[in-house]
């Protein structure tokens, strides 16, 4: 067993032991604990949990690599996956917390109608499943490289640990494990990044020091025939960059697994500060990622430029074993590098390995490489657990108890929710082992669908009293059908023919237009039909003011 494997095993085993310990400490006996962690999570802890919930295998493993190859246009992910928190904090989180029940479908059920609730529950399950598949596959990559375990076995091990804390602890177990997982993943991300920045520039803050190497990166990139790194719109047209960024932002604000995290705080104020802490914690990784991308790309290009194939750096050999790095047939020396397997370049590097390989590429010691393995798993597992909770709560709380078992006792509800969680874990294992498409692409579907279904009706539900049930159902279905149709039209993953993008709009960006379609349809149909009842309008009125009752005679601050 190599040094790297030993250290990876140490860190992964230690972190898994910690998660199981937390799971045992936070097991729950009531559905309120299972679904919303008894609503007593402090804002800072909830912020960390949101950050871990949010930052997936895609953020930790794939993003810096994507940015390294996209260059300036990698900002779609950086802005798209952070800007949504401004929308969440200002437009959704405080109001949904004031309303204060268990799930997102439950809110739209109270606000609009039972039909909207059922449609939402089904959409929440679809969105969460497409997303969870990527997490499972990402976990499998970490296992296969660092621990030499079969990808399938790796997925099963990670899922077994998730099963332990998600089934017994529900939201409470998931929350406190996510706090631990955030700590593991941010330490694992920042230490190598700071070390690489220090080695390459002498200044250890990557956010500041990667400016120094941009000119060098542009120069060496040109020698490889790559687009200028800092130039905008080399990878995507401007309109598409705009639409993808917007789609990721409103998708973020509409993803059920993120929204339900804000139900767990003590107060409305706690929900606002959770959003603040969440974005601070997320920002620590997201401002580091572009630096990691730039440093790793420069290291990579200088390391392989003109190198003979039998004299490539050792990390290339290590990763070739996973099939994620390949050298073209008959190539003698490396003259071109790409992340696209069809490009015919001398060296093909998969996006997903750049972060995992960055300590090796920079020649950092084995313990750090092992730590990165634990971090990648923490990112994948924390997100998977949050998604599985949404699937379980939508299936049990929003569908099963309403249609099948109306009068279930509290104990029975808890049992059924646990069974739903267990079944969801099993299905996720299956799709994690047989993923339908590669990690980032799968995640893009989830965002487009969340953007075009949930965000517009939640927004209108809170800010426009006139929005009614018929409008919301029509809007959601219109947004969903429109967005899904375009995705199927442009992407070959469903077994259909891949057609050209219309007006340069990629399937990742279509969610923005889908959201507009949803908004317009909801408004139009609402105006043509009867306004919602007086009770519903009172409910909307009430979620706007944090305190249950207004105190008068309070000296103004």
Partner 1 sequence: MADTQESPAGGAPPPGGGAAPPDNGWRKEYWKENLRLMVVLLVVWFVVSFGAGILFVEQLNEVVIAGFPLGFWFAQQGSIYTFILLILIYALRMDKLDDEYGVSERNDDGSRA
**Distance in angstroms between the alpha carbons of the first and the last residue of the chain:** 64
Q: Using CA atoms, how far apart are residues 432 and 121, in angstroms rounded to an integer?
A: 22
224 binds partner 1 (CB under 8 A): no
546 binds partner 1 (CB under 8 A): yes
R_g of the chain, CA atoms, integer Å: 24
| Interface pick for partner 1 out of 275, 414, 442, 451 (rule CB under 8 A) | 275
541 binds partner 1 (CB under 8 A): yes
Q: Is the dihedral of CA 409, 412, 414, 419 positive or negative?
A: negative
| Residues that contact partner 1, how many (by CB under 8 A) | 67
Phi, psi angle pair for 326, to nearest 5°: -135, 145
| Interface pick for partner 1 out of 212, 237, 423, 436 (rule CB under 8 A) | 212
Q: Which is nearer to partner 1, 17 or 547 (CB)?
A: 547
Q: Using CA atoms, how far apart are residues 43 and 490, in angstroms rounded to an integer?
A: 42
Q: How far is the CB of 46 from partner 1 (least distance, A)?
A: 13
Parallel, antiparallel, or unpaired: how do β-strands 347-349 and 337-338 relate?
parallel
552 binds partner 1 (CB under 8 A): yes
Q: How far is the CB of 221 from partner 1 (least distance, A)?
A: 14
**Which part of the chain contacts partner 1 (CB under 8 A), choosing from 12-20, 77-85, 320-328, 446-454?**
77-85
Question: What would the DSSP string read from start to end of 497-549?
Answer: PPPPPGGG--TTTHHHHHHHHHHHHHHHHHHHSPPPPHHHHHHHHHTTSSSSS
**Which part of the chain contacts partner 1 (CB under 8 A), choosing from 17-25, 189-197, 278-286, 417-425?**
278-286
Close Cβ partners of 315 (under 8 Å, ≥ 6 residues apart): 357, 360, 361
Close Cβ partners of 519 (under 8 Å, ≥ 6 residues apart): 456, 459, 460, 475
**Which part of the chain contacts partner 1 (CB under 8 A), choosing from 160-168, 310-318, 400-408, 534-542?**
534-542
Q: How far is the CB of 546 from partner 1 (least distance, A)?
A: 5
90 binds partner 1 (CB under 8 A): yes
Helix (H) or strand (E) holding 192: helix 151-201
**Which part of the chain contacts partner 1 (CB under 8 A), choosing from 171-179, 324-332, 366-374, 535-543?**
535-543
| Interface pick for partner 1 out of 190, 235, 280, 327 (rule CB under 8 A) | 280
198 binds partner 1 (CB under 8 A): no
| Interface pick for partner 1 out of 269, 331, 336, 489 (rule CB under 8 A) | 269
232 binds partner 1 (CB under 8 A): yes
251 binds partner 1 (CB under 8 A): no
Question: What would the DSSP string read from start to end of 343-398?
Answer: S--SEEE-GGGHHHHHHHHTT--HHHHHHHHHHHHHHHHHHHHHHHHHHHHIIIII
Q: Which of 442, 337, 341, 328 is nearest to 383 (CA)?
A: 442
Binding site for partner 1 (CB under 8 A): 67, 72, 74-75, 78-79, 82-83, 85-86, 89-91, 94, 207-208, 210-215, 230-233, 238, 241-242, 245-246, 266-269, 272-273, 275-276, 279-280, 283, 286-287, 290, 460, 463-466, 523, 531, 534, 537-538, 541, 544-547, 550-554, 556-557
């Amino acid at each position: 067993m190599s040094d790297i494997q030993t250290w990876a095993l140490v860190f992964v085993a230690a972190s898994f032991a910690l998660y199981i310990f937390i799971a045992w400490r936070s097991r729950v006996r009531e559905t309120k604990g299972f679904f919303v962690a008894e609503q007593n999570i402090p804002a800072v802890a909830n912020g960390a949990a949101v950050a871990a919930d949010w930052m997936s295998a895609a953020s930790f493993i794939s993003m810096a690599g994507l940015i390294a190859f996209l260059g300036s246009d990698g900002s779609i992910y950086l802005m798209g996956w952070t800007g949504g928190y401004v929308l969440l904090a200002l437009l959704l989180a405080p109001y949904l917390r004031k309303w204060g029940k268990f799930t997102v479908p439950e809110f739209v059920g109270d606000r609009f109608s039972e039909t909207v609730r059922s449609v939402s529950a089904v959409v929440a399950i679809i969105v969460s499943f497409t997303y969870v598949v990527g997490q499972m596959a990402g976990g499998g990559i970490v296992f296969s490289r660092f621990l030499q375990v079969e990808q399938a076995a790796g997925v099963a091990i990670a899922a077994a640990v998730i099963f332990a804390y998600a089934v017994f602890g529900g939201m409470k177990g998931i929350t406190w494990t996510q706090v631990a997982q955030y700590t593991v993943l941010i330490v694992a991300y920042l230490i190598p990044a700071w070390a690489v920045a220090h080695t390459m520039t002498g200044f250890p803050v990557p956010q500041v020091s990667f400016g120094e190497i941009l000119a060098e990166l542009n120069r060496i990139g040109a020698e490889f025939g790559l687009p200028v790194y800092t130039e905008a719109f080399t990878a995507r047209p401007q309109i598409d960059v705009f639409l993808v960024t917007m789609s990721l932002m409103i998708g973020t604000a509409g993803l059920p697994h993120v929204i339900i995290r804000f139900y767990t705080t003590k107060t409305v104020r706690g929900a606002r500060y959770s959003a603040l802490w969440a974005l601070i914690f997320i920002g620590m990784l997201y401002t580091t990622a572009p630096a990691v991308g730039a440093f790793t790309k420069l290291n990579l290009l200088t390391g392989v430029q003109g190198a003979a194939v039998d004299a490539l750096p050792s990390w290339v050999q290590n990763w070739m074993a996973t099939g994620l790095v390949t050298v073209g047939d008959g190539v003698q020396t490396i003259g071109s590098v790409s992340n696209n397997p069809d490009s015919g370049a001398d060296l093909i590097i998969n996006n997903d390995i750049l972060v995992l390989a960055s300590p090796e590429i920079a020649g950092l010691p084995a313990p750090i490489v092992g730590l990165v393995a634990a971090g990648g798993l923490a990112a994948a597992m924390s997100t998977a657990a949050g998604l599985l909770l949404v699937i379980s709560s939508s299936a049990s709380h929003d569908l099963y108890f309403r249609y099948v078992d109306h009068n279930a006792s509290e104990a029975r509800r808890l049992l059924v929710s646990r069974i739903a969680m267990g079944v969801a874990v099993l299905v996720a294992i299956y799709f994690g082992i047989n993923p339908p498409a590669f990690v980032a692409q799968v995640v893009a579907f989830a965002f487009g669908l969340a953007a075009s279904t949930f965000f517009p009706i939640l927004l209108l539900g809170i800010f426009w009293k006139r929005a009614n049930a018929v409008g919301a159902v029509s809007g959601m279905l219109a947004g969903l059908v429109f967005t899904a149709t375009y995705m199927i039209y442009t992407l070959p993953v469903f077994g259909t023919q891949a057609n050209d993008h219309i007006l340069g709009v990629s399937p990742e960006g279509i969610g923005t237009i889908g959201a507009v379609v949803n908004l317009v349809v909801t408004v139009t149909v609402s105006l043509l039909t009867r306004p919602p009842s007086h009770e519903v309008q009172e409910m909307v009125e009430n979620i706007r003011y944090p305190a249950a009752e207004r105190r008068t005679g309070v000296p103004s601050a």
